[in-house]
Amino acid sequence: MSDFVEADDLALLATGFEAAMAEAPSPGEADQALYDLGWAELLDASPTKGAATAFSALGKSNSAASLLDDVVAHALGIAVSPDTCVVFPSPHQATAPAQRRGDTVVIDGLVSARLERANTAVLAVENGDGAVATTVDAALLHVSAAKGVDPGHAYRRLSMEIAADALTPLATRGNWEPAVSAAQVALAHQLIGGARWMLVEARQHAIDRVQFGRAVASFQAIRHKLAESLVQIEGAASVAQGCLHDPDPLLAALAKSLAGQAALTTADHAQQVLAGIGFTAEHQFHRWMKRTLVIDTLFGSAKSLPTEIGNKLLSQGSAPRLIQL
> What is the percent of the chain with per-residue pLDDT over 70, rounded to a whole number?
96
pLDDT tens readout for residues 21-67: 887 777 778 888 889 988 999 999 899 999 999 999 999 999 888 89
- Of the candidate ranges 118-127, 148-157, 243-252, 302-311, the one whose mean pLDDT is the lowest: 148-157
**Which DSSP string do the residues of 84-132 spell out, in sequence order?**
--BPEEPTT--S-SEEEETTEEEEEEEE-GGGGT-SEEEEEEE-SSSEE
- In the structure, what pLDDT confidence band is assigned to residue 3 with cuts at 50, 70 and 90? low
Nearest to 202 by CA among 150, 123, 270: 270
Q: Which residues of 26-56 are buried (b: 16+ CB within 10 A; e: fewer)?
A: ebbbbbbbbbebebbebbebbbbbbbbbbbb
Which pLDDT tens digit goes with each residue over 262-304? 999 999 999 999 988 888 888 999 999 999 999 999 999 999 9
Q: Give percent of the chain with pLDDT exceeding 90.
A: 64
* Closest to 63 measured CA to CA, from 89, 37, 93: 37
Determine how β-strand 104-111 pairs with β-strand 156-163: antiparallel
CA-CA distances (angstroms) from residue 118 to 23, 115, 125, 137?
A: 23, 5, 19, 9
155-176 average pLDDT score: 87
Give the mean pLDDT of 69-80: 93
Number of CB atoms found within 10 A of residue 137's CB: 14
The pLDDT mean for the chain works out to 89
Stretch 191-195: mean pLDDT: 97
**First CA to last CA across the chain, in angstroms?**
27
User: What is the average pLDDT across 118-141?
Assistant: 91
